[in-house]
Amino acid sequence: MVRSGGEGRFWIVTREGARLLDLAVPLGPDTFPPPPIIDRSGRAYLLLPGEVLALDATGEIAWREKVEGTLFATLTADGTLVAAVGPNVLAFDAEGKQRILATVADDALRTPPVLDARGRLYVSSEHHLYCLNTAPRLR
């Protein structure tokens, strides 16, 4: 992700620096999104203000989903995008369908979720670390 001429852009470039994709993305002047998350197939997930955008390996938009708040996300071994958004932990499947895995009351999550080998999901807010058992719903 880059800023070019005051707007946000997402570029895919070759090792030699040739630009394969130049996509405008909505970024406010004080917005600094995290780097894209890339899965094994080459799909890129862009965590933008208020939405998740999934691009396939050719740069075509696979899906985009609106969300309420700032996203902090990671990929699981099976390719599920798991995101902390406000008080919710969401899972996005390959088609972009989202479901709520967990909700924490009266708190805003601030880190990407981490899934351990036993299926426990760890995520934190500014003041708390949560350990959530979401394994049955992830699979």
User: Which architecture characterizes domain 2-138 according to CATH?
Assistant: 6 Propeller (2.120)
Phi, psi of 62 (to 5 degrees): -80, -45
Cα–Cα nearest to 74, from 64, 57, 55, 89: 89
How is the chain split into domains, by residue range? Answer: 2-138
Residues 6+ apart with CB under 8 A from 8: 1, 2, 24, 25, 26, 27, 31, 33
Q: pTM of the full predicted structure?
A: 0.82
Which DSSP letter does residue 110 get? Answer: -
**Across the chain, what does the average pLDDT equal?**
85
Cα–Cα nearest to 56, from 21, 26, 101, 100: 21
So what's the pLDDT on residue 52? 93
So what's the pLDDT on residue 136? 44
Cα–Cα nearest to 87, from 50, 42, 124: 124
CA 93 from centroid of its chain's CA atoms: 12
Q: Provide the token pair at 11.
A: 């570029």
Q: Provide the token pair at 27.
A: 């970024």
CA 118 from centroid of its chain's CA atoms: 22
Per-residue pLDDT at 2 exceeds 80? no
So what's the pLDDT on residue 66? 92
So what's the pLDDT on residue 97? 94
Q: Containing H/E element for 138?
A: helix 135-138
Q: Provide the token pair at 45.
A: 């997930």
So what's the pLDDT on residue 87? 94
Q: 80-128: per-residue pLDDT in tens?
A: 999 999 999 999 999 999 999 999 988 999 999 998 888 889 999 989 9
